[in-house]
Amino acid sequence: MSFREIQPRICLTTDTWTSVQRINYMCLTAHFIDRDWVLHKRILNFCPITSHKGEHLAECISNCLLDWNLDNVFTVTVDNASSNDVAVLELSKKLDMWGTNMMEGKHLHVRCMAHILNLIVQDGLKEIGPSIKRVRQMVKYVRSSSTRTRNFLKCVEMQKIECDKMLSLDVPTRWNSTYLMLDTAEKFEKAFERFDLYDGNFNSFLATDVCEDGSIAGSIQYEDWANVRNITKFLEKFYELTLKVSGSRYVTCNVHFEDICELDAYLKVCMTSDDVDLSKMASGMKEKFKKYWGTPEKMNKMLFIASVLDPRNKFMYVSFALEELLGEEKGQIVNNEVNAYLKNLFAIYVSKYAKGSKNQSSSSDSSDSSTYGLSQNVKTNSLRTKFYMKKQKEDSGSLGVKSELDRYLLEDQEPESEDFDILIWWKVNSPRFPILSQLARDVLAIPMSSVASECAFSTGGRILDPFRSSLTPKCVQCLICVQDWLRQETKHICVEESLEFLEKIELEMANSGRNSSIVDL
Q: Domain check: are 197 and 72 in the same one? A: no
Last residue of a domain, one of 190, 218, 253: 253
Q: Domain check: are 323 and 232 in the same one? A: no
Considering the domain boundaries, does residue 439 fall inside one? no
Count of the separate structural domains present in the chain: 4
**pTM of the predicted model, to two decimals?**
0.79
30: three-class secondary structure by DSSP: strand
Q: In angstroms, rounded to a whole number, what is the distance separating the alpha carbons of residues 317 and 304?
A: 11
Q: H/E element holding 75?
A: strand 73-78
Range(s) of the domain holding residue 511: 497-521
Q: Domain check: are 17 and 46 in the same one? A: yes
Query: Tens of pLDDT along the chain (521 residues)?
Result: 555 555 678 999 998 877 656 778 888 999 999 889 999 888 888 888 888 899 999 999 999 999 988 889 999 999 988 999 999 999 999 999 999 999 999 999 999 998 999 899 988 887 677 888 889 889 999 998 999 999 999 999 988 898 888 899 988 778 888 999 999 999 999 999 888 888 888 888 877 765 655 555 567 777 888 888 988 999 999 999 998 988 878 899 999 999 999 999 999 999 998 888 888 889 989 999 998 888 887 889 999 999 999 999 999 999 999 998 888 899 999 999 999 999 999 999 998 887 644 444 333 343 333 333 333 344 445 676 666 666 666 655 554 557 899 999 999 999 988 889 999 999 999 999 999 999 999 999 999 988 877 665 565 455 555 555 566 677 777 777 677 677 665 554 454 555 565 566 667 766 765 555 544 54
Q: Domain check: are 160 and 178 in the same one? A: yes
Q: Domain check: are 163 and 206 in the same one? A: yes
Considering the domain boundaries, does residue 483 fall inside one? yes
Q: Domain check: are 150 and 233 in the same one? A: yes
Give pairs for 431-435: CB < 8 Å, separation 24+: 432/404, 433/404, 433/407, 433/408, 434/353, 434/404, 435/346, 435/349, 435/350, 435/353, 435/354, 435/404
Q: Domain check: are 148 and 68 in the same one? A: no
Q: In angstroms, rounded to a whole number, what is the distance separating the alpha carbons of residues 452 and 15?
A: 9
H-only helix segments in 46-162: 54-67, 82-98, 113-124, 130-143, 146-158
Quick count: other Cβ atoms within 10 Å of Cβ 255? 19
CB 191 within 8 A of CB 155: yes
Q: Domain check: are 87 and 14 in the same one? A: yes
Q: Domain check: are 480 and 365 in the same one? A: no
Considering the domain boundaries, does residue 264 fall inside one? no
369: three-class secondary structure by DSSP: coil
Q: Domain check: are 245 and 307 in the same one? A: no
Residues whose CB is less than 8 angstroms from the CB of residue 326 and which lie 6 or more positions away in sequence, other chains included:
296, 334
Considering the domain boundaries, does residue 34 fall inside one? yes
Q: In angstroms, rounded to a whole number, what is the distance separating the alpha carbons of residues 32 and 215?
A: 51
Last residue of a domain, one of 390, 408, 434: 434
CB 136 within 8 A of CB 170: yes
Q: Domain check: are 92 and 188 in the same one? A: no
CB 89 within 8 A of CB 59: no
Decide: residue 84, CB within 10 A, 0-12 exposed, 13-18 middle, 19+ buried: buried
Q: Domain check: are 373 and 345 in the same one? A: yes
Q: In angstroms, rounded to a whole number, what is the distance separating the alpha carbons of residues 75 and 306?
A: 13
Considering the domain boundaries, does residue 110 fall inside one? no
